[in-house]
Structure 1
C-alpha cells in the first residue's frame, strides 16, 4: 500500500520506513509535528513525540530522503496519560491533548495525498505511543504500520539498524543512566554501541540500549534510502539543571553522497535478519526444526421489539465475574424480512446479530450482581471481556462486523473467537460472552484522576471501581489491543483485542490463526504450518503481556478445518501441538522486555553460570544436557475439534486461557485424570458409521430387543482431565465420551453419559483443585452435529443432568447454582490426553474459578 511516514528525525522512524519498503509498501511523503514555540520559562516534555533536533526535519526529509513533507506545529499538551487513548473523553480545558494535533496532521495528509492508506511509525516497546497512533489511524480509516513493534531484543534491533546503514548521532541525553551531555552528545550511535558504552550502562543501570526508557534521542544523518547525507555545520550543547542535555542544531545542510552500494528492498525481512544477528536460543532452534517437518496429510429491516422467548443462560460469581451463554435471536428471520440481494443469508444473519446485541444489552442491565437488590450497578458492553461468536457461515461476519463494532466500540474491546459451526438448527448466529462488572470504566480512568471523586458512574458502581482502583497489588482488568501491522503478532482490527487479563491472574487470548504478522496473510505450507504459526502468534501475545509463555496454559481449544479432516489428522495435530508448546512456539519468553527469570542462580543449580553447573555435575556423573531434555514443560490438556470454517480461510486456530506470569510464579500448577465406563440408563440415541441421530430418544428409536439394548452399555468410555492453578483458584476441566464399538452401530445412552461426564468433572474438580461445582463459571458441550439439528434433545438431557448434579430443580437456572451452559456442534473431536481408542462423540469443557480468592492467594504467596 502507499504510506506516509511519521518521522521525528530519529533512528526508529527512518528504520521503520526502510522495513515498510522492504515489505512491499510505497513511501509517498513524510509527516512531522514540530514542537510548539515556548517561552524561556517553559520546558515541558511531550509524552508522545521527540522534540530534539526538530529544526533539521525539512532538510532531512525533502533533500536527503527526497519526498514531500507535511508539517504541523504541536499546540496540545500531554493531558490524557492513560496507556490507551480515548478521544471521546471530554476535554475540560481549552488546550486539547497533543494526540489531537496528530489527528489534524494526518487529516491534512489525507487531503494532500488521498491515495495514502497506511501510516508508519517507529514504536518498538512504547504502548503509550502505539495506541495513540492506532487510535488516530482508526478514526481516519488508515492502517498503522509498525514493523519494529516487539520485533526482538533491543540490543539485536540496534545491531540490525547499524548493519543496515543507519548512521545517527545523539541529540538528547539524560544524565541519571550515565550519558553526559558534553561527553556523549553529537557522538555517533555506532561508536557508542560498539565502543561498549551502552553495554556498560546496561549492566550498571539497566540502561535501555535502544533508548526506550528515554535515555537518549537520535538524529539520522544518513541511511540507505537517502539521496543526500545530512551534515551538521553548526551546533550548540544546551544543558538543563536536571542533567538533561540537548544538541541544538543551528545550521545543517544536505550534501551529495559518494557513489556507493545501491540499496535494494529485496532480501530477507527484519525477523530473519534479527535471527541472523543474535545466536538462536534452544527454544528457537527447536521451533525452526519443527518448521522443517512437512506434516501434511495426503489423502436493513429492524427486528420487532424484543420479547424474551429463549433466554440466555447467566452465571454470576463473586467479585462481579459473569458468563452469559447461548445468546440467540428471539426470532428466526425469513427472506421476506430483507431486501433481495446477492447474499440474502448474510443479511438474515445481520438481523439475528442485531437482535442478539439488543438481548445482551438488556441482560447486562438486569444482572443481579449481589444477593441484595442494588439499583444502579448495571454492566455495559464495555465490561465484556471475551466473546465467542458462532456463525453458520464465516463470510457473514463481514456484514455483521459493522454492528458488532458499534455495539462493543473500538477502544479496549473484548477478545474474541469467531468460527463457523454450520447452521445451529435454523439459526445463523449464536454468542457466548464473559463479563467483568465495572472493568470497562476501570480501564478508562486516567492515571492521575482522583478516584475518590468519580462522578461519571452510579454510586454503587463507583464504590466498586474505586475499591479496585486503590488496590496496589492487582489490576481488575488489563487489555492488549495492537492494531499496527508488525512482525510481532497479527493485528486485531475487528475490533477485538489480542488478550484481556482479569485481576492480574488469568489471560484470555483471542483465537490465533496462522497469519504471517508482517503481511497479514496465511503462511504457506498448509494446515500444519498454519498451526505452528498459530502457536507462535499465541506465544508472542503472551510474551508481550508479562513475559508469560505456553507453559502457563490452563485451558486450550484447537480448531481444525472439517475439509481437511481424516482419521489421522488429530494424531498429527497432537504431535505438532506438543512440539510447539515444548519450545514455546519458538519465542524466548521475556527476551524482548529483558525480564529476568526471577530464580537467580537457581537456574544453574545454585552456581553462578551454566558452565560451572555443568562441570560440577559432570564430576558427579550427571549429564545436565540429557537431564534438561527430560524436564520439558508439562503439556496442558486440550481439546481438538473439527469445524467447517475459520476466518480468512484458515485451517487451524488456537484459543487459550493462561495463568499470568505472576500467578504461575507463586501458585502451583497441576493436572489430574480419571477414566470410567458408563452404566445403563434409559434415554438413547442411535449411532452408526455415517452419523449420530441425536433427535431420537424415548419415542423416536426403534429396537427389537430390550436385553440387547441394555447389554451394550460398555461401548462408551468416559475420561476426564483437569488443569488447575493454586488451591481453590482456577481450573479448566475436560471430559470426553468415546465410542469403542469399532464402527458397529449401537444405541447411545445419552442422559446416562452426560451424567457420568458431569459426575467425573465435578469429582476431579473437588478432589484435586480445591474448587467445587458451585465455582463453575460455564460449561460447553461439543457434539457431532448434523445439518438442521439445533441440539434440542441434547440440551434437554444436559439441563436435566446439570440440575441433578447441582442439586437443583431441572430448568430452574438458579443463578447461584447452575453454570451457564452452551452447546456447540462440530464435525469431529478429540481430547488430549485420552487413553480410549475409538471415536469421541461428546466432549465437555468446564471453567471454574474464584478470582477473588486467587487474588488473595497470589498476594500471600508472592509476599512469602
Structure 2
C-alpha cells in the first residue's frame, strides 16, 4: 500500500472541492488544512458577490460563506489574494512562460499570522466554472519567504520530506505577482506559491495538495506546476471521472447524493440552465434529471457537471467525517442578481454554521470508488485467466505456446559489438537513434558521464536542425540495469525544463544485450516546425497528467503520457496525427502501487494470474490515454515483458500478451449493423447495474466514450498474404523480452496511435523466397503507412526489402525500429538506419519467436518524395 499523505485541500466551497476531500480520506490520507485564493479587496465598499472577478483560473462567486468552512469542517483555513491575471492563457502551463526575469525583490520576513477566513479552489479555463470561491475579506500579511523555484527534475512518487524539497537560490528568480509592485504583470496561477508556502510554514508535514479538477487541463496543469516546484504530490481523484465506470457525467452527482453532500447552485450562466435552478441541490434526483435534459439541448462535454461554466455551486452540508462541526445555514434573497447573457447569481443575506442532528450517515462507507477495470477489460481478464488454473490460459493459448516452441530454434549469438548512431530527416520528422558514448579518450565512462555526453551530443544535433529539446516528441531510453534509473533520470529530465509536455518515453533495461561498456542509449523522434500549416492545426498536442486519480497512472517524471504531431506536411494539409504514447505499466492509478492479483476479483491468485492481471491493466492504461488523445486506430502494439528465467514461461507470457491485444480488439468490434456509429453508444450503465442505477436512481445512462478502435472506415484489403491465423481484425502486435522494466513490473505496453484518420486500409503482403508476411497499415490518403514483420533469421530482412519494393514503398521515406534478439546483417543495418532495441527474445506479429521484429513508418514529404 502507498504511504499516507498529509494533504492541504484547495477549496472553493463548491461541490467538487469538498467532494475531493472525501476521496482523500477514502484513500487513507489525512487532510490537515484548507487553502483558498480570493479576489483582492478593491476598497472599503467591496462586499460579497460584487467581487466575482471571473478569473480564468479561480472561482470567485459565493465568497461570503467561505469563512464558515473552517468552523464547519474543523480544519484551519489559509488564504491569499489573487494577484494578476491570465498572462499565460495556454491550456498547458509552464511557469517559465509566466515568471519575471526582473531582479529579486525580497519579501518581508514578518511572522505569519493566521486569521480564519476564506477558502477557494481552482477552476476550469476561460471562465469560472463548477465551484464557488472566496472574496471580500481583508488580505492577510505576506508570509516571509524568499522566492524559491524547485528543480523540474523527476523524483520518487513517495512524498518528499519537507526539509528535502529542492529550492533555487533566492537571488536567481522570483515569482511574478509575489510583491505588490508587479501585480498587474503577474499570472494569477503564481498566487498559489505564496499560499502554499504559508501552509507549509504552519504545517511542515504537508506533502500533498488535492483539488476538484474533473475535465479542465487548464486548471490541472497549473496546480501541478506549482506542486512540482514545491515537492508536493497533486491529488486529483475526480480527474476524468465521467469516463470511468459507469461512464456518465451524472455518476459524480449521484455519488455525491449517496454520501449526503448538499451543494446548492448559486450561479447560472447558460440559457439552457436558467435562474429556476438557483439554490437547488445539484445532486438531488430531480435536479440531476433537469440538468441532463438541459445539457442534452444546449450543453457540451461535462455540462451536467457545470464543466463549461454553465453553473457554479456552494456546498452547505455533507457527511460527518468531513463536516465535523455542523452544516451551513444560508438566508437567501428571493430575488437573484441578474447579469448579462442570461446569467444569474443567488444573493445571500446571511449565513452561519449550525449544529447537525446526530446521524449515522455512512460517509466513507457509502462512497463509491470507481472500478479499477473498465467493463471490456474486466471481461478480457476473465477470458484470459479463468479458463485454466494450470496455465491461466485457454486451449488456444496452450496450442500457440506449443507452436512457438516448435518454431525455429534460435541459437545464442554474441552480444552486439556496437550500437551505430543514426540520424534520418524525412519530411518534418527527424529521428536520432542509438546515441551512446561508452568511452572518452579511450577511457570507459561512468553511467552518469555517458548520459551527460549523450545529452551534449543530442543538443548539438538538434541545433544543426534549428530545433531544441522542446521539439522532441518521443524518446526510447535503454539502460543496462534498472538500478541506474534513479541515478540517470535527473540528467535526462534536465533536457526538458523550459516548456510543458515533455516527450513521451519508453524506458527498458536490456542487460547484457547492450554492447559491452554501454550503460545507456537514447533515441529520439523530433517534430520539426514547418510552414505548411494553412489549416492552423496545432503542431503539437500533449497530455501530461501528474496528479493521482482513478483514471491512469500519474507521470511524475519528465515525460508525458502522450504527444501528438501531424502525420506529414503533405499538401493539401491534413489533420491526421501520429500519437506517440509513453510505455504503460500496471500501476493502480489512485495509489501508484503495482497491481496485485489478490486484489482483483476476476483473478484466482498465484504467479500466473499475476502476469495476466498486469497485462490487462497496463493495456487498459494504453487505451485510456489513447481515448483522451483521440486515437482511432493503433499502428502496431509492442509489449515488453521482463525476463523470467524460464523459457516455457517466457513463451506463455508472450502468447498471453498477444492474446490480450487481439482479444480486446475482438471484444470491442461491434456487430456489422452497428459499425456505422461513430461514437460509443453501448448501454454500459444498464449492463453493469441493470435498471436500478446508482444510489437508487432508475435512469439509464449511455457510454459516451469514443470508440477505440474505431472500426468505421477500416477495411481489409487483399494483399496476397493468405493469413489464415483467424478473422480477428486487429493491428499487428510484437512482444519483446528484455532484462527489466520500470518498478520491477512484468509487462509494459506501447503503440503509435493514429488520430483524426477517417480511413484505414489494412493489408497483409507476402513475398521473398521465404514467403515473409508483412502487415501494412495505410492512412492519410496514402501519405503515411506503417509496416510490421517478424524475420525468422538474419537474412530474411532482404525478403522484407523485396516485399516493400514490390509494394512501391520508396526507400527514402522509411523510418525503422528493430526489436533485435539476433544480430542482423551490418549491410542492412547501415542501409536502413534503424532504432535498435536489443532484446533477449522476440515474437513477431504471427506469434512465433523470431530473430527480430521490424516496424517501419513511411511518410511521403510535401514534395512527394
TM-score (norm 1): 0.72
Distance verdict in 2 for CA 1:718–1:230, change over 3 Å: same
Residue 476 of structure 2 corresponds to residue 388 of structure 1:
yes
Tell me the CA shift for residue 34 of structure 1: 1.2
Tell me the CA shift for residue 850 of structure 1: 3.3
Contact 2:481 2:740 in 1 (8 A): yes
1:449 is aligned to: none
Tell me the CA shift for residue 102 of structure 1: 1.4
Tell me the CA shift for residue 436 of structure 1: 0.7
Please list, as runs of the form range in 1=range in 2, the aligned pairs for 1:251-400 lying within 5 A after superposition: 251-261=350-360, 263=362, 265=364, 270-272=369-371, 285-286=379-380, 290=384, 312-318=421-427, 320-329=428-437, 331=439, 348-367=446-465, 378-400=466-488
Tell me the CA shift for residue 528 of structure 1: 1.5
- Greater C-alpha radius of gyration: 1
Tell me the CA shift for residue 635 of structure 1: 1.5
Q: Secondary structure at the match of 2:66?
A: helix
Q: Secondary structure at the match of 1:80?
A: coil
1:860 is aligned to: none
2:616 is aligned to: 532
Distance verdict in 2 for CA 1:480–1:351, change over 3 Å: same
Distance verdict in 2 for CA 1:430–1:602, change over 3 Å: closer
1:558 is aligned to: 639
Residue 857 of structure 2 corresponds to residue 844 of structure 1:
no
Q: Secondary structure at the match of 1:513?
A: coil
Distance in 1 (CA, whole Å) between partners of 2:205 and 2:11 is 19
Match of residue 471, structure 1, among 518, 525, 535? 535
Contact 1:670 1:725 in 2 (8 A): no
Contact 1:64 1:229 in 2 (8 A): yes
Match of residue 431, structure 1, among 522, 544, 550? 522
Distance in 2 (CA, whole Å) between partners of 1:67 and 1:335 is 60
1:486 is aligned to: 549
Q: Secondary structure at the match of 1:147?
A: coil
Match of residue 800, structure 2, among 754, 761, 770? 761
1:413 is aligned to: 502
Contact 2:818 2:835 in 1 (8 A): yes
Higher helix share: 1
Segments of 5+ residues of structure 2 without an aligned counterpart are 101-181, 243-247, 393-400, 402-417, 567-575, 598-609, 683-724
1:674 is aligned to: 766
Contact 1:673 1:720 in 2 (8 A): yes
Tell me the CA shift for residue 851 of structure 1: 7.0
1:248 is aligned to: 347
Contact 2:665 2:729 in 1 (8 A): no
Distance in 2 (CA, whole Å) between partners of 1:434 and 1:9 is 45
1:734 is aligned to: 788
2:86 is aligned to: 78
1:633-668 alpha-carbon deviations (Å, 9 max, x no partner): 6111111011110001110000110111x21xx222
1:569-623 alpha-carbon deviations (Å, 9 max, x no partner): 445543454445544699999xxxxxx998479999xxxxxxxxxxxxxxxxxxx
Q: Secondary structure at the match of 2:449?
A: helix
Tell me the CA shift for residue 736 of structure 1: 2.4
Contact 2:259 2:361 in 1 (8 A): no
2:179 is aligned to: none
Distance verdict in 2 for CA 1:90–1:297, change over 3 Å: same
Q: Secondary structure at the match of 2:253?
A: helix
Distance in 2 (CA, whole Å) between partners of 1:204 and 1:284 is 34
Distance in 1 (CA, whole Å) between partners of 2:493 and 2:458 is 14
Distance verdict in 2 for CA 1:543–1:68, change over 3 Å: same
Segments of 5+ residues of structure 1 without an aligned counterpart are 300-308, 338-347, 368-377, 439-463, 590-595, 605-629, 679-716, 740-749, 785-793, 803-810, 812-817, 857-864
Q: After the TM superposition, which of the residue ranges 281-290 and 406-415 deviates more from structure 2?
A: 281-290
Distance in 1 (CA, whole Å) between partners of 2:287 and 2:93 is 38
Tell me the CA shift for residue 405 of structure 1: 1.2
Distance verdict in 2 for CA 1:239–1:3, change over 3 Å: same
Contact 1:192 1:198 in 2 (8 A): no
Question: Aligned Cα RMSD in Å?
Answer: 3.4
2:828 is aligned to: 801
Q: Secondary structure at the match of 2:260?
A: coil
Tell me the CA shift for residue 138 of structure 1: 0.8
Distance in 2 (CA, whole Å) between partners of 1:9 and 1:762 is 64
Contact 1:643 1:827 in 2 (8 A): yes
Distance in 2 (CA, whole Å) between partners of 1:102 and 1:723 is 47
Tell me the CA shift for residue 780 of structure 1: 2.1
2:210 is aligned to: 120
Q: Secondary structure at the match of 2:342?
A: coil
Tell me the CA shift for residue 234 of structure 1: 4.3
Match of residue 289, structure 2, among 191, 196, 200? 196
Distance in 1 (CA, whole Å) between partners of 2:450 and 2:678 is 55
2:131 is aligned to: none
Tell me the CA shift for residue 201 of structure 1: 0.7
1:830 is aligned to: 843
Match of residue 402, structure 1, among 490, 495, 501? 490
Contact 1:778 1:819 in 2 (8 A): yes
Match of residue 563, structure 2, among 475, 481, 500? 500
1:782 is aligned to: 820
Contact 1:734 1:761 in 2 (8 A): no
Aligned residue-pair number:
670
